Structure 1
Amino acid sequence: MEALKAVILAAGKGTRMQSDLPKVVHTIDGKCLVDYVIEAAEGAGAEDICLVVGYKHEEVENTISHKDDVTFVLQEQQLGTGHAVKCAKDFLGKEGHTLILFGDAPLITSATLKQLLKHHIQHKNAVTVLSATIDDPTGYGRIIRNESGEFIKSVEHKDANEEELKSHEINSGMYVFNTWELSQALDKIQPNNAQGEYYLPDTLAILKDKGLRVDAFALESPEDINGVNDQKQLESAAEIIRRRKKECTL
């Protein structure tokens, strides 16, 4: 199998946590949120892992358990997910495949990432989005498919029309890319939006316009892609992790 790398986005402050700590170093059962993500990436076969850090980056670098297992890249200004991955461009190289993950999504598992990677390689995709269907998709980017179930595009909630908003399949923000194609597409994304940010999902349209295969792999259960944005979600994630430990599914 071709080489697999992972880039984990962990630069945010996490103001909704109502804490001075960087969000990714909040803990569940004594382990930082981002350590769960690093372990999932390693379990899926990622040989090299890059952590994109920003807010109180020294604290992140000194606190996490797996600091010796990762490369740290500093994102001094938070200018969007595309910008964060651009900061890791030297790490990416040109070969194999690259996972893009979030440091505040501790429920992602190596089993799910292996399924995502298998689908990606079998279908010879340039990029595969990890998606899931949820009851209330308000605020999430939507996956749009045609009548045959083939991927058409991913559209942000605020940019979606009335018909597109009917889709309950959401973009988790996690991907696996052909590394060379990701590197090329990063050079083409522009901050043409109200926030003036570089959005990683813009790479999907760029790759599709090149005639490359872009796809979404839909999870049966959305549990794995749940992020932690506040104390309530932190406790919910903790309950799920403890349940999984009892079930021996971690």
Structure 2
Amino acid sequence: MLKAIILAAGKGTRMKSEKPKVVHEVLGKPMVYYSIEAARAAGCDKVCVIVGYKAEEVEKSIKDTYAKLGKTEEMQDVVSYALQTEQLGTGHAVKCASDFIGTEGDVVVLCGDTPLVTGKTLEQAIKKHVATENGVTVISAMLSDPFGYGRIIRDEKGLSKIVEQKDATEEEQAVKEVNSGMYIFKCDALLAALSQITNDNAQGEYYLPDTIEIIKKMGLPVDAAAMEDADQIKGVNTLEQLAEAEEIMRSR
């Protein structure tokens, strides 16, 4: 079984808007819609959207979009919601969907503010994940300017860990391969790892990437799969980036 979690609980203060970030539109549809559709195109049967800031507005935006497309009934069985009442990091957000995750199959974790990722890219990463029986596969990208992104740190066995910008040494900051914020996990491994992560870091948050070292210690393989088109990891944090995403989407 393959399912997806979409992180959509944040406010998005840099958007300079009272609207939740993920409901800002790209070509007439909310950003989060594209993440849902990418997950479905990649073969996910069920999608859980993690909501927080103005949760009802996010849910209404998604439901209204599918209603306009005449897909209300179809999507009732596909999309569900989990509430993150406090913004305590990506690890905490995913933990809010523990019941949805369960212990069977695999789960793809996506961001509601990365509308450019495609089902094809996710499908390629999922195939690698399944073929190598990884506990977790991180979707990565090579960037000429990696500032701000978590770095993929490798060792002789493959993926060693992911280090956030604020916690990285100078040597680690020089690494060009970055974490896209998208992952594929074995459900049972993810649930076990989420119960062990802590908030002992510069941000005081529960980081989802911290599950990687834990899953590695379980004896499961972990790796990163680099996507061919680095544009697809572009997140939208400002109105300028929203316009850029719309331009890329239009050119497709």
Amino acid at match of 2:99: D
Spell out the pairing of 1:42-57 with structure 2 (5 A cutoff). 42-57=40-55
- Structure 1 vs Structure 2: percent identity of aligned residues? 56
Amino acid at match of 1:59: E
Structure 1 residue aligned with 2:112, among 85, 98, 103?
103
Between 1:159-168 and 1:104-113, the stretch displaced more is 159-168
Matches of 2:200 and 2:170, distance apart in 1: 22
> What residue is the counterpart of 2:98 in the other structure?
89
Spell out the pairing of 1:230-249 with structure 2 (5 A cutoff). 230-244=238-252
> What residue is the counterpart of 1:150 in the other structure?
158
> What residue is the counterpart of 2:225 in the other structure?
217
* 2:191 is the alignment partner of 1:193: no
Aligned-partner SS, 1:135: coil
Structure 2 residue aligned with 1:9, among 7, 10, 15?
7
Matches of 1:239 and 1:118, distance apart in 2: 30
Q: RMSD in angstroms over aligned alpha carbons?
A: 1.2
Matches of 1:140 and 1:70, distance apart in 2: 29
> What residue is the counterpart of 2:236 in the other structure?
228
- What is the TM-score of this pair, normalised by structure 1? 0.93
Spell out the pairing of 1:6-155 with structure 2 (5 A cutoff). 6-64=4-62, 65-66=65-66, 68=76, 69-146=78-155, 150-155=158-163
Matches of 1:135 and 1:202, distance apart in 2: 25
Amino acid at match of 1:56: K
Matches of 1:174 and 1:112, distance apart in 2: 11
Tell me by how many angstroms 1:16 deviates. 0.6
Per-residue CA distance 1:94-149 (angstroms, 9 max, x = gap): 10000000001100100000001011011111000000010111121101123x58
The 4+ residue runs of structure 1 with deviation greater than 4 A are: none
Where does structure 2 lack aligned partners over 5 or more consecutive residues? Answer: 67-74
Matches of 1:29 and 1:55, distance apart in 2: 23
Tell me by how many angstroms 1:162 deviates. 2.2
Aligned residue pairs: how many? 241
Per-residue CA distance 1:67-120 (angstroms, 9 max, x = gap): 734111110100000000000001111100000000011001000000010110
Where does structure 1 lack aligned partners over 5 or more consecutive residues? Answer: 245-250
Per-residue CA distance 1:171-222 (angstroms, 9 max, x = gap): 1111000011001111111111233211100000101112211100011221
- What is the TM-score of this pair, normalised by structure 2? 0.93
Structure 2 residue aligned with 1:179, among 166, 178, 187?
187
Tell me by how many angstroms 1:29 deviates. 1.4
Tell me by how many angstroms 1:163 deviates. 1.9
> What residue is the counterpart of 1:164 in the other structure?
172
Aligned-partner SS, 1:40: helix
Aligned-partner SS, 2:49: strand
